[in-house]
Homo-oligomer: A and B are copies of this chain.
Amino acid sequence: MALISIIEDFHPLIDARLLARAEALRPALQHEERLPLPFNDAPLGKGAELLLDFGEHLVGRMTLTLGTAGSHPDAPATVKLFFAETLRELDEDPAAFDGWLSRSWIQEETVHVDELPGILTLPRRYAFRYLRITVLDTSPKYKLIVRNALCRTETSADRTRMKPLCSGDEKLDRIHAVSLKTLADCMQEVFEDGPKRDRRLWMGDLRLQALTNAVSFRNFDLVKRCLYLFGGSRFPDGRVSANVFAGARPEGDDTFLFDYALLFPAALEEYLEGTNDAEALDDLYPIAMEQIDYGLRQQEDGLVNAAAVKDCFIDWSDTLDRTACAGAVLLYALRYAQRLAERKGDAARLEELRRQSDTLREALLRRFWSEDEQCFVSNGQISAASQVWMVLADAGTPEQARQTMRRALSLRGTPHMTTPYMHHYFVMALLKVGLRTEAEQHLKDYWGGMLDAGADTFWECWEPEKPGSSPYGGLIVNSFCHAWSCTPAYIIEKHLLNQDTK
């Protein structure tokens, strides 16, 4: 996830105790060493280029062993290093990028090397498979030789748990493997949304990472740490930020997303399902309920008001009408809130939540169900997103749900679903209504499509109809290893293999 909201003089509500707990859970990083595939180590003069291919997506730090040919070097060498996750990025001109995200995300360095031969150690972390080295200058007296390149990888995932799937379906096995690789490369000191960009902890992404983590690396401490970070620095009125900066001074961003905040209760409930962590329940239950209360307060005439709808992410789309989705996400969250209240033994609250759910469900059906269309219509718009969230929220009857997902499967045209984030929930909705074959096929078509297009890890954005699209005005800043795209392993292990379609 990544978008831009700016609040002047934003002072988050800090809970130092929760942040200290999060700090105590900061994971140690694991390291491995990786070399590039064999390359031509011929001397490189001014303007020469060398492309190193490490054969797989990596997250880590780079050391280059540099030599020279010709006379004793009489001037520093100046080299440009461009780290790219995909071959497509290499075709982009960094200087030409003029999108609305910071160009600082472009993984390009210009470095002077004073002492040659020597070792060039780059201090920053990169996410990449390819490294293009351009010699900007040496001197007429010598050329540069790249003798070796070493990447020291970083992850907090225990890779020994990365077991290959042997389903008999090669495509499914490959999707599963790339899904876990994607998650592992995003698992750093927090669950990052993307190790290239923007390296932050986003609530919507975390929820999906945590689900996949539960069927793979099972690093529940990292999930806990992230939930505590969200709890530890919130909006002044208690809302959970859309994302948290997890650096030396953890702080919630001044960006709020209505649907992301409402996924906090879901993520907490799912974490507790895996751990039964009483401390986390005690510490975070009130915060989960604050998100629900905020959501409920945004109701007008039983529906979510326009301002809150505007705060809904759902998918990257300028044309999507999110009114139905916003209400559905609130209803969806109320179900997780009820489970939390049960877990907490908070009977009064549980009773109240049930009543609130019923009222909201009725209002949503009344407002969005179209007898004519036999699906959900949001201000005149029939989108997959509206069907998906209404189905996931249990807004209609099972019959309505099945019908609406069949409709969703046949939808073509605007608004497309553009992100794996949305496609994940689409598949979940298909599974929910028992369209298991269609769910599996969609998973293989959509994530498999990225593989066919050359993915080593799953991408932030993928529109099969528009393979070079970017929500940022230039795919050079797209993330090609992205948290919210890692869920196939979860879907396969939890739902396709186990026949569990809860």
Contact = CB atoms under 8 A, between A and B. Distances in A.
A301 to B, nearest CB: 34
A4 B71 CA distance: 11
B115 A102 contact: no
A103 B254 contact: no
B137 A104 contact: yes
A4 B140 contact: yes
A142 B228 CA distance: 26
A253 interface: yes
Interface residues of A, number: 40
Contact of A10 (B71, B76, B139): B71
A84 interface: no
Interface string A175-213: 000000000000000000000011010000000000000
Given A76-B104, A104-B76, A115-B248, A71 B136 contact: no
Given A75-B102, A76-B102, 20 more contacts: A4-B139, A6-B70, A6-B71, A6-B140, A6-B141, A71-B254, A74-B200, A74-B245, A74-B253, A75-B104, A75-B197, A75-B198, A101-B139, A102-B137, A102-B139, A103-B136, A103-B137, A104-B138, A110-B110, A115-B248
A344 interface: no
Contacts of A73: 245
A31 interface: no
A200 B140 CA distance: 17
A109 interface: yes
Nearest to A113: B104
Interface in A228-259: 245, 247-248, 251, 253-254
A251 B140 contact: no
Interface string A56-72: 00000000000000111
Interface string A73-84: 111111000000
A33 interface: no
A71 B253 contact: yes
Contacts of A6: 70-71, 140-141
A11 B372 CA distance: 90
Interface in A131-178: 136-141
A283 interface: no
Contact of A198 (B74, B109, B247, B248): B74
B251 A138 contact: no
A105 interface: yes
22 contacts: A6-B140, A10-B71, A71-B254, A72-B245, A72-B251, A72-B254, A74-B198, A74-B253, A75-B104, A75-B105, A75-B197, A78-B102, A102-B140, A103-B136, A103-B137, A104-B112, A104-B137, A104-B138, A104-B139, A109-B112, A114-B124, A115-B248
A100 interface: yes
Interface in A83-110: 100-105, 109-110
A7 interface: yes
B75 A140 contact: no
A97 to B, nearest CB: 10
Contacts of A247: 115
A115 B251 CA distance: 13
A29 to B, nearest CB: 16
> Which one of A7, A74, A114, A247 has the greatest number of beta carbons of chain B within 10 Å?
A74
A115 B189 CA distance: 14
A77 B112 CA distance: 19
A233 B451 CA distance: 58
Contacts of A138: 102, 104
A76 B110 CA distance: 16
A124 B104 contact: no
B105 A76 contact: yes
B100 A78 contact: no
A101 B74 CA distance: 10
A119 to B, nearest CB: 12
A254 B74 CA distance: 10
A7 B74 CA distance: 13
Interface string A1-31: 0001011001000000000000000000000
A269 to B, nearest CB: 28
A289 B258 CA distance: 86
Contacts of A104: 75-78, 112, 136-139
Nearest to A114: B124
Nearest to A78: B104
A140 B198 contact: no
Contacts of A101: 75, 139
